[in-house]
Structure 1
């Protein structure tokens, strides 16, 4: 006969087993997906002809044998190279990445950084056969590359819609981390629409799927076996996976691939503005109910924004009815439009809401903004602890400004606390355009106490709004 204690233990064990069975039943089953999708996932290696090292350098070259391939290649690339002479010998460098076949006649998608600077690209299929690939085109801005191998009836992936992907959904990656072909890892979607530094045109999918070097360019699948992204980047302090992986949405990647295939290049929309995030203090200084939108810190001359009437200090709240919550939302939306598209922007200007109609331009290949600073002085109110001078005609021309003042000296006070430096150019203060040192002094003397005040500062050609409060 069971004792009460043993009966309770038995019931507890049944409860634990029952809960485990429920959890097991709720976990997704990946085996069918992997069997169906794996044949279309490929390994990509590249060969690059590099100049032979100078003999004097070779003698100083450390012994790199035994190091991991990526670390060895890093050190090799860091060592100075001798100029390539006629008939000089060549070395071969190799890198590993992943990709996937999107059409039966051999079109392959991968990352641009996987094949960048390659002289030869080799695609290895799941049956271990190798095919030489031709680069159809690449777009560094989105890190997407389109390859072509010769073949018919090749296995292909199913393409899904990244737009319909939901945060919390299960996703799965197949790739070649550290050269281990067709490794499978799974996780969930952590976030959508992520912006990364220097990546303005990709609203990344963030996941906690284990991604490591070699996974780059490989597919990210949903539970229906459809590709919803291209695994592209990881956030790491160790060089390996730390729980933050980022994938290019397949909608973005296929738009790029189709343009590369049909036109050989990618065209994307451009407004011609420099924007920044609206934080709590900026929202207060501009009279906004909450911190949201994209603050226009700079309008490029003769750009679409300038022609459409957008001004410095405008806060863009929506585009074509789509809300701009974070400033990074704007480049994602604008970049996805074709040049010549008409848009409507809802903006707040000097506390009043209005709608502007603009025509999107084509993003230039490259752009630059000039910088400068120089003489002629007048002291301003010591309330801010800064001395300023009128801009010279040459400075205004080089900076493309109609007005503004240059900081000559920063004393102890609010200016020093917010990080202003000599040479900085102030163009707006408390939502007013500054056309001279006299105007600056007048505005500075009338600044309110204990309330966020905005200031637009131009430093080394880059404009941004900053905020501060005066306690006295």
Structure 2
């Protein structure tokens, strides 16, 4: 995997709905491009051989000058074991006062980033908050209240719907591409709770953080990854869905971080084969494959092999549904789980822990 809200001056872009294929994307592109930005983030990192991570948008740039260690132990420009890295990505304004969305992996741990607008102006942006688990970040440009912006869609797209993407591929500047939504809720290791949108619009390095838009010019996803053996576009791209954006960004704006509930288990969806092996007829839910020692589930008595079928009375039909439901609950709150163990129905009450904010290592860019 490769990692990668029209427009009057201060009015969100909107367009008449169209049920058919557009004759051209030119009108949409013209209206949304002023809201799309290039994002540049610089940081000092230890000079070491690293795996090719999925979100490496552009080659890192080494600075050749001699360096000396920093007295406070922090990376220094004069440290010979430190190099300056530059991440080049994309983003988009969601309000006229300068709030913009990009990828967490683009800004990394930096407190600021540089953005470039389509009118060739450069601004300094403050990183308001970032959420590595969803790979979303919120940044803010101060001093203006008239930026063009786009809205985040309220409805999910259908498979086969047209999609227009906008971004900053290879640092070239504002670029749009078009395609269709190829799949929804595509589950990838450590992807967002809601799963990815899969699209076939060309997405390349530097497009990370840019918007995927519907034919109304509303954001249906945030470009995040591509599946590629060469490092370039191969027709399979993934975007963080608008539903995740609507959940994460308000929390980043309010408190700079995102909190999620956790019960400390690993689960997988119950397939017909698993249901048959358990001697059950048409059993649906999430089967527990591992229970974290000393986690809330372990303390409540949950065991490997238990099948969770309901949370707070709501039916659970897959592992992703369970994860989404638990993540949406507050740490410290209590969740009532309906489950099946050895063919018998049981009820457990679990007090939720807080999910760690940092994701596990993701898949490499070019698996070999």
Higher percent of residues as helix: 1
Query: CA shift at 1:128, angstroms?
Result: 0.5
Aligned to 2:354: 362
Alignment match of 2:35 (pick from 40, 43, 46): 40
Aligned to 2:8: none
* CA distance in 2: counterparts of 1:138 and 1:207, whole angstroms: 24
Structure (1 or 2) with the larger CA radius of gyration = 1
Question: So what's the TM-score if we normalise by structure 2?
Answer: 0.77
1:193 aligns with 2:188: no
- Matches of residues 59-78 of structure 1 in structure 2 within 5 Å? 73=60, 76=62
Aligned to 2:331: 339
Query: CA shift at 1:191, angstroms?
Result: 1.8
Alignment match of 2:21 (pick from 7, 19, 27): 27
Query: CA shift at 1:182, angstroms?
Result: 1.9
Higher RCO (CA 8 Å, separation ≥ 6 residues): 2
Aligned to 2:69: 84
Query: CA shift at 1:220, angstroms?
Result: 1.1
Alignment match of 1:156 (pick from 142, 149, 166): 149
Question: So what's the TM-score if we normalise by structure 1?
Answer: 0.61
CA contact (8 A) 1:51 1:82 kept: no
1:205 aligns with 2:192: no
* CA distance in 2: counterparts of 1:134 and 1:321, whole angstroms: 42
1:273 aligns with 2:283: no
* CA distance in 2: counterparts of 1:33 and 1:352, whole angstroms: 56
Query: CA shift at 1:296, angstroms?
Result: 1.0
* CA distance in 2: counterparts of 1:173 and 1:226, whole angstroms: 11
Write out per-residue CA displacement over residues 147-171 of structure 1, whole angstroms, 9 at most, x where no aligned residue.
111122111112212x532222211
* CA distance in 1: counterparts of 2:330 and 2:138, whole angstroms: 20
- Matches of residues 285-434 of structure 1 in structure 2 within 5 Å? 285-290=277-282, 292-320=284-312, 323-364=315-356
* CA distance in 2: counterparts of 1:240 and 1:317, whole angstroms: 41
CA contact (8 A) 1:318 1:324 kept: yes
- RMSD of aligned residue pairs (Cα, Å): 3.3
SS in 2 for 1:33: helix
Task: Between 136-145 and 293-302, report the one with greater CA deviation.
Answer: 293-302
Query: CA shift at 1:342, angstroms?
Result: 4.8
CA contact (8 A) 2:92 2:150 kept: yes
CA contact (8 A) 1:51 1:88 kept: no
Aligned residues: 325
Task: Between 271-280 and 226-235, report the one with greater CA deviation.
Answer: 271-280
Alignment match of 1:107 (pick from 99, 103, 116): 99
SS in 1 for 2:159: coil
* CA distance in 1: counterparts of 2:294 and 2:59, whole angstroms: 48
* CA distance in 2: counterparts of 1:45 and 1:232, whole angstroms: 16
Unaligned runs of 5+ in 1: 1-24, 54-68, 369-472
* CA distance in 2: counterparts of 1:360 and 1:51, whole angstroms: 37
CA contact (8 A) 2:181 2:198 kept: yes
CA contact (8 A) 1:48 1:119 kept: no
Unaligned runs of 5+ in 2: 1-18, 49-55, 72-76, 361-368
Aligned to 2:5: none
Q: Flag the 1:52–1:356 CA change in 2: closer, same or farther, 3 A.
A: closer
Alignment match of 1:242 (pick from 234, 253, 257): 234
CA contact (8 A) 2:190 2:359 kept: no
Q: Flag the 1:293–1:52 CA change in 2: closer, same or farther, 3 A.
A: closer
* CA distance in 2: counterparts of 1:185 and 1:233, whole angstroms: 15
